[in-house]
Amino acid sequence: MSAEESILKLVDAGELDREDYRLQDQVGFILRRAHQRHVSIFAAHIADLTPPQFAALAKLRDVGETSQNQLGQLIAMDAATVKGVIDRLKARGFVELTRHEVDKRRLLVSLTAEGREAVERLIPLAQKITEETLSPLSPKEVATFMKLLAKMA
């Protein structure tokens, strides 16, 4: 008896319980695996920086000086997480922190020269990472996938 037939038999018998929910078919599960795969590809190309750390640097390159909180919003990290990421980048000399002159609550983050040099150098690698992550898909599939993924996120 094939797997198909086996399932149909269970349906008939009203014993589908074990068949109607397959973990490996759920978006959440596959999303998690896709993300894991990406992180692994990232690490293979950029060993000394994590994706969140690179995201912070790349975004700082775009927007220049911002507060820690605002940077967090731009790269989808809550305040507690962003703090850790920025702390580590600061320890490496990639960013520097200054208090906002007017609003003394704010902590302004900006790239150091070294930080800027690092992002510029890494961006070509980041493009390769994106490419490799999407490599199982054809160009047309990539376009479709990115559109739908963005719609969902």
Partner DNA sequence: TTGATATCATTTGCGTACGAATGAATTTTG
Partner DNA sequence: CAAAATTCATTCGTACGCAAATGATATCAA
Report helix, strand or coil for 50. Answer: coil
Name the minimum Å distance from CB 69 to a second copy: 17
Give the integer Cα–Cα distance in Å for 76 and 34: 18
Contact call for residues 54 and 43 (beta carbons, < 8 A): no
Give phi and psi for 95, each to the nearest 5: -135, 160
Beta bridge partners of 66: 109
Q: Which of the choices a second copy, DNA, none does residue 120 contact, using the CB cut-off of 5 to 8 A by kind?
A: a second copy
Interface with a second copy in residues 69-88 (CB under 8 A): 75-76
Name the minimum Å distance from CB 52 to DNA: 4
Name the minimum Å distance from CB 101 to a second copy: 26
In the complex, which residues of this chain contact DNA (CB under 7 A)?
32, 36, 39-40, 43, 50-53, 67-70, 76-81, 83-85, 88, 102-108
Q: Which stretch binds a second copy (CB under 8 A): 2-10, 96-104, 105-113, 119-127?
A: 119-127
Interface with a second copy in residues 16-55 (CB under 8 A): 17-18, 20-23, 25-39, 42, 51, 55
Name the minimum Å distance from CB 90 to a second copy: 20
Give percent helix, percent strand, percent coil of the chain, each to the nearest 5: 70, 10, 25
Q: Which helix (H) or strand (E) holds 32?
A: helix 27-45
